[in-house]
Amino acid sequence: MIRFVKVIVWNLPRIYMIPRMAYMAKHANRYGEEECYDYAQLAIRRMMRAGHITTKKYGTENLPAEGGYIICPNHQGKYDALGIMISHAKPCSVVIDDAKSHGILVKQFIDLVHGKRLVKNDVKQSVRIIKELAEETKKGRKFIIFPEGGYFHNHNTVGEFKPGCFKSAMKARVPIVPVALIDSYKVFEEWTLRKVETQVHFLQAISYDEYRGMNTVEIAEMVKNRIVNRITEVLNPA
């Protein structure tokens, strides 16, 4: 939390970026997805510099070269999506809990990357979001979805994956990219200003042909196991 405060204070001279994000998001016909994403990455880089944050990326060669896909990482904290975005060269967006998406800066950032806000316990709205995700990934967009649905001070331990998070991928028949996040929780959870390093591991993409015929429970278990295995390999090498 103390790092979060430092990031805010250090970037006060750049507060103009918040209305700039809002303006670019509002005029999407003038600013394309790539231009908006570049600006989002600029904001992330400045935050990382202020917070002494380094993120190492691995496995970018596993990302599909063309088309849309769903990115499914484990969830550790507020920095997770940012760590993935700064490591992902092509524009991608994120699905976020609506209740957490309306604060200052968060709202403008989510609007800038044209993210999706999910209202928990609203079945009708969830169905609509799944449909939108399927339609947009078919057209080539990429989205980050956190199958755990939240983070609970779990650090590098992975919780249960919600099968419903994979419905949009199944509907669109697009690849699923498992992502293993390591030490991402340290960014805003630890009460220290010392340098922190996180890791983003893009695992081998799971094509539709590979998961075709499986149900969402089986897919969730497969994706989770691959992430757990990678985290174990990194933290507890044989």
Any idea what DSSP says for residue 69? Answer: E
What residues pair up with 198 in beta bridges, in sequence order? Answer: 55
Please report the pLDDT score of residue 87 as a whole number. 99
- Continuous segment of H or E residues that includes residue 43: helix 33-51
* Residue ranges with strand state E in the chain: 53-58, 69-73, 93-97, 116-118, 142-144, 176-182, 196-202
* Token output for 25: 């998001």
Distance set, CA 97 to CA 56, 116, 143, 182, 226 (Å):
26, 9, 14, 22, 25
* Residue ranges with strand state E in 148-187: 176-182
Please report the pLDDT score of residue 1 as a whole number. 58
Domain boundaries, the chain: 2-235
Give yes or no for a contact between 227 and 203, defined as CB atoms under 8 angstroms apart: yes
Q: Please, what is the end-to-end C-alpha distance for the chain in angstroms?
A: 34
Residues of the chain with pLDDT under 50: none
pLDDT digits (tens, 9 = 90+) for 164-201: 999 999 999 999 999 999 999 999 886 777 899 999 99
